[in-house]
Amino acid sequence: MLKPQTTAEVSQILRYCYERNLAVNPQGGNTGLVGGSVPVFDEIILSTALMNRIISFDKVSGILVCQAGCILEKLNEYVEEQGFVMPLDLGAKGSCHVGGNVATNAGGLRLLRYGSLRGTVLGLEVVLADGSALDCLASLRKDNTGYDLKQLFIGSEGTLGVITAVSILCPQKPKAVNLAFLGCQSFAKVLETFTTCRAMLGEILSAYEFMDEKCMELVERHLKLSSPVTGSPFYVLIETSGSNSTHDEEKLNNFLEQAMSSGLATDGTVATDDKKIKALWSLRERITEALTHDGHVYKYDISLPVGKLYDLVTDTRARLGPRAKNVVGYGHLGDGNLHLNITAESYSHSLLEAIEPFVYEWTARCNGSISAEHGLGFKKKQFIGYSKAKEAVLLMQRFKAMLDPKGILNPYKMLPSGS
């Protein structure tokens, strides 16, 4: 593993590897879930761990420029001191690197409000396979001069270049944050609650997450967390972020009154203080961790038309029956993103065969995506065809061949092999 500190050192490493045909595995915080950040054979790991310098922050525009190895949570703390927040937030914030976030186009919990990194990343510095540095580190909201090259590297999972610095637009830190945690009796009610709260909360809605009762059981059993709301088949977490607490609370209370009186939600709690907000968020953010304590986990990260989101969980549960220990569904409902996770006591090839390609075929039939936000990495790359046309994959391979003709950058990842 090599740990460069500067872009010049990354250039030197890649030039050396390029000349000698040595494969390189770029690695950030190594928190990915599809095997994109770990070597497969003898790749040299190029870690961004020591590239953690903040380069500049503009307090007027909220534009942050930093090295790729900065930890997301640290960046958030830094910009919060100046009255801003990072435009993305995810469970792995304590160890993930912003460069890795950009390389995988991470989504997370704030996407509903601030949009994807494709909008908030304003510029990138990237070192290409041959060691040359590409400076696209613009700090402008608007720039229509030619192709938007940075987009090629966002979500390219380290296969086209190594991201060394990021310029990103940070929104104002909201003055008032409220959280409602509600229990719903059916998935139809979860959907209706979503449309109602979107209409009634408008611009202050900043997250709409859901989890099923199995998820709740697992965080309670394995992490000893306790929920103030219990006994419902579904739970939703609704966050508001705004600039006026009186106005926000009034809106939230009107919505809650409507949700309770019309039977959309049957139970619920509200949090306005930091400690309770954090505790409620933990119930949702720590599901992944709880699952790892439940046995071997088969993980799926699916985009679907929101109305069909939970049908995949129900169908998978029915198909697998007692062969699975738990089949759980949760995720970013507001973004149409389901996390379907299946646990079993141990890995079994026959169980895998019962799940795949079933889950992928089901998703493709609904014109969904087999990777909403985690990427394809090593584990899902052979299945890209379920979500992308042949011609699109061919064009991706041509980009790859043009930018990395020797195929040294994160080989065996993202693009299918043997085609």
Ligand X SMILES: O=C(O)CC[C@@H](O)C(=O)O
Binding site for ligand X (CB under 6 A): 33, 91, 287-288, 299, 301, 339, 341
- The single-letter DSSP state of residue 416 is P
Shortest distance (Å) from residue 283 CB to ligand X:
11
Q: How far is the CB of 161 from ligand X (least distance, A)?
A: 24
CA 382 to chain centre: 21
- Min separation Cβ 228 and ligand X, Å: 21
* Torsion angle defined by CA atoms of residues 110, 111, 114 and 115, in that order, rounded to the nearest 10 degrees: 170
What's the rounded Cα separation, in Å, for the pair 312 and 93?
Answer: 28
**Among residues 177 and 218, whose Cβ is nearest to ligand X?**
218
Q: Tell the smallest beta-carbon distance from residue 264 to ligand X (Å).
A: 24
At closest approach, how far in Å is the CB of 411 from ligand X? 25
Report DSSP letters for 136-191, one per residue. E----S---SS--THHHHTTSTTSS-EEEEEEEEPPBPPSEEEEEEEEESSHHHHH
Q: How far apart (Å, rounded) are the C-alpha atoms in residues 295 and 40? A: 23
Instruction: Report CA-CA distances (Å) from 8 to 53, 126, 130, 346.
Output: 14, 11, 13, 45
Q: Choose between 189 and 339: whose C-beta lies nearer to ligand X.
A: 339
Minimum distance from residue 275 beta carbon to ligand X (Å): 21
Torsion angles phi and psi, residue 256, rounded to 5 = -65, -40
- Residue closer to ligand X, measured from CB, 137 or 338: 338
Residue 238, amino acid: I
Q: Shortest distance, CB of residue 57 to ligand X, whole angstroms?
A: 27
Q: How many Å is the Cα radius of gyration of the chain? A: 22
Instruction: Count, in order, helices (H) and strands (E) of the chain.
Output: 15, 14
DSSP string, 77-125: HHHHHTTB--S---TTTTT-BHHHHHHTT---SSHHHH--HHHHEEEEE
123 versus 375: smaller Cβ distance to ligand X: 375
In the complex, what is the shortest distance from the CB of residue 185 to ligand X, in angstroms, rounded to a whole number? 24
State CA 308 to chain mean position distance.
21
Which residue is nearest to ligand X, using beta carbons? 288
Q: From the CB of 8, what's the least distance to ligand X, in Å?
A: 34
Residue with Cβ nearer ligand X (249 or 356): 356
Cβ distance to ligand X smaller for residue 23 or 309: 309
Given the complex with ligand X, which of 301 and 404 has the nearer CB atom? 301
> In sequence order, which residues have a C-beta less than 8 Å from that of residue 344 and are 6 or more positions away?
295, 296, 298, 323, 324, 325, 351
Q: Is the peptide bond before 357 cis (omega within 30 degrees of 0)?
A: yes
Nearer to ligand X, 11 or 104 (CB): 104
d(CA 104, CA 374): 7
Contacts of 134 (CB under 8 A, 6+ apart): 125, 126, 127, 128, 149, 161
Which CB atom, from 122 or from 287, has the smaller least distance to ligand X?
287
